[in-house]
Structure 1
Amino acid sequence: MTVAEWCIFTTVLLYLLTIAPIKWIGSRHYDNSRPRDPAFYQDPIRSRALGAHQNGIETFPFFAIAVLLAEFRVAPQNLINELALLFLIVRIAYILTYLGDRPSLRSILWNLGFAINTAIFFLPLIRRYLPI
């Protein structure tokens, strides 16, 4: 498996690990028979963790498809790997800014992550112009 493919798997773990600790820490108030109970997420940190988790689910398909398409279309693997790692780092920073209630920085990081995904997606198109 390539580094980029491991990044796909890590991205799944990342969005799961965004919400799991919040549920565990708040286990006295969390009812697993009602996992989407809005009352549990009224706490600000829980609400932000849920938002970060949901955003991870929303961004995952584009990232996974971009990586797999770039690999399928034989874009330079080292570039795919580097961009995938960069995306993962940006996602970690995004989650931390989401949890830390830094909306402006969070938006910048979201846009940076989207730009990285777009770059991965278009690597096959521009590969002949790359000096690799």
Structure 2
Amino acid sequence: MTIAQLCLLAACLLPIGCAAIAKSRGFGKRRRDGGFDNSRPRDWLARQEGWQARANAAQANSWEALPVFIAGLFVAGQHQAAQATVDALALGFVAARLAYIGLYLADRAWLRSLLWTAGMATCVALFFVG
């Protein structure tokens, strides 16, 4: 398995991790006490505030960024790009996404946007390597 493939797996798991963070405060509590409602998870998440709401937004954005990353890896593979270059860009994407999520949780909007741009730049670069 290449580093890029491991990064793809990591990128696929990032939104799930964000969802777990968003729901974590509600785990172990009864619904009537504000606990997570698995019968209506989207409604429950929509009522959250603060870092939980930001974690849920990071989850949505992680799902939105994923297809661009997958497409970039696919095109780089079609162009038979050097694996070391693809691996480096994939690592850059995952690093940018991890930092992005951390900054989202910390409510650092400007820096978060900068990291979003860096992550997208790695995806666009994947289209042009090879």
Deviates more, 1:61-70 or 1:32-41: 32-41
2:25 maps to 25
1:5 maps to 5
What per-residue deviation string (whole Å, max 9, x for no partner) do you get for residues 72-130 of structure 1?
22011100001100110110000000000000000000011111111111113xxxxxx
1:102 aligns with 2:108: yes
Deviates more, 1:103-112 or 1:26-35: 26-35
Q: CA shift at 1:38, angstroms?
A: 4.9
1:80 aligns with 2:86: yes
1:67 maps to 73
**In 2, Cα distance between equivalents of 1:24 and 1:42:** 11
1:58 aligns with 2:64: yes
1:122 maps to 128
Runs of 5+ consecutive residues of structure 1 not aligned to the other structure: 125-132
Deviates more, 1:92-101 or 1:29-38: 29-38
Which 4+ residue blocks in structure 1 deviate beyond 2 angstroms? Answer: 38-42
Q: CA shift at 1:68, angstroms?
A: 1.9
2:52 maps to 46
Runs of 5+ consecutive residues of structure 2 not aligned to the other structure: 30-34
Q: How many residues get paired?
A: 124
What per-residue deviation string (whole Å, max 9, x for no partner) do you get for residues 21-53 of structure 1?
331332222100001015654321111001100
Q: Secondary structure at the match of 2:40?
A: coil
Q: TM-score, normalised by structure 2?
A: 0.89
> What amino acid does structure 2 have at the position aligned with 1:89?
A
